[in-house]
Chain A
């Protein structure tokens, strides 16, 4: 396996104060390697989304640290954090989270414009990415005109915009039917194998576990067990 891309040390996240406080993460230390396909599973409320937010630089840990490519992200200024999100990580959400007022192509090109790519180059690469996810012909449609599965494909194309090292997905198939979910899983697996992008996905979906290199089992905010497997190929 490759280099370590994400490392956490004694990660703790506590929400709230005093009696009402919840320890959503309670000392998680782990290493995630370049190019792997990692699934995070656990019962509802076990802390998967919280973990996702921590390693994605979307929220600050209460204790412990997150290192991405050996950089402690707590040390970054807001501007540097924006740079990290723009260049290093692609995010995929259960609820797709496309920018509703922009077209599919504009959603895909926006991160490139943040990265300083010229508009022509961004459009060209955006069309290539939409073709890659099978939606080249729908580039001028807005999210409200696309099905859930199609929206998630656009979100995947958008996550790939700046050729990130890591794709972080929080229940990417959670709002999709079985068949569409399978297509999204296959697409992520394909990107992982062909482009070498590290995929980290929180999921309840058993089909997703089948294609994973490793599985983190989380319960009650702790990393219970790490399962290594030879993924099914198809």
Chain B
């Protein structure tokens, strides 16, 4: 083999897509729990945002600072929750990554699979989480006679979805890059 013999080793896009789909389909319950983790984090964050928007109008200084505290806490919890779910779901599969490298997968291919997988999980979890979190809190605030403006609820849903998606993909991609760059022997040896 000479360096000049090396062609582009990356297979067509659908090969990575099928791998990501199979991974979600076959590990359905495991993946559902991961997506639920994302959804919960985002739901908590979105509901706090809506609560703040509802009380924002006539709130006194103490209420404002309490709300800011709640929003900050919910953001941290959502960050930790999502990162933890995704880190777990990728690191427990380092061996699979090592195996794929033995079959000739390039580092880019490995990362692509985890990107596509986390994109799907993240989208599902974030949409469900932000719609439920923001929606339920919107109803609750209306029932309490201090409704959040519908435009604010819509904005929270949009922002929550984007935030969840970005967090999910980032939290999955970094360990995947790390595993792809390891010598294959090291990835194969990792036991979680």
Q: Which of B1-50 contact A (CB under 8 A)?
A: 1-3, 5-9, 11-12, 15, 19, 22-23, 25-27
> What is the total of A-B residue contacts with beta carbons within 8 Å?
103
Is the CB–CB distance between A58 and B188 below 8 Å?
Answer: yes
Is the CB–CB distance between B101 and A82 below 8 Å?
Answer: yes
Q: Which of A46-97 contact B (CB under 8 A)?
A: 53, 56-60, 68-69, 71, 76-80, 82-88, 91, 93, 97
Is the CB–CB distance between A84 and B188 below 8 Å?
Answer: no
Tell me whether chain B's interface is mostly helix, strand or loop, or mixed: helix
Residues of B within 8 A of A71 (CB): 1-2
Is the CB–CB distance between A59 and B101 below 8 Å?
Answer: no
Residues of A within 8 A of B120 (CB): none
Give CA–CA (A58, B26) in the complex, Å: 28
Determine if A178 is an interface residue (Cβ-Cβ < 8 Å): no
Q: Contact residues of A with B, CB < 8 Å?
A: 53, 56-60, 68-69, 71, 76-80, 82-88, 91, 93, 97-102, 106, 110-111, 113-116, 142, 158, 161-162
13 A-B pairs whose Cβ atoms sit less than 8 Å apart in the complex: A58-B184, A82-B105, A83-B5, A85-B101, A86-B103, A91-B103, A97-B102, A98-B99, A101-B23, A110-B103, A111-B103, A114-B106, A116-B9
By Cβ-Cβ distance, the 10 closest A-B pairs, closest first, are: A86-B104, A59-B185, A114-B104, A58-B185, A101-B26, A53-B185, A58-B184, A111-B103, A101-B22, A113-B11
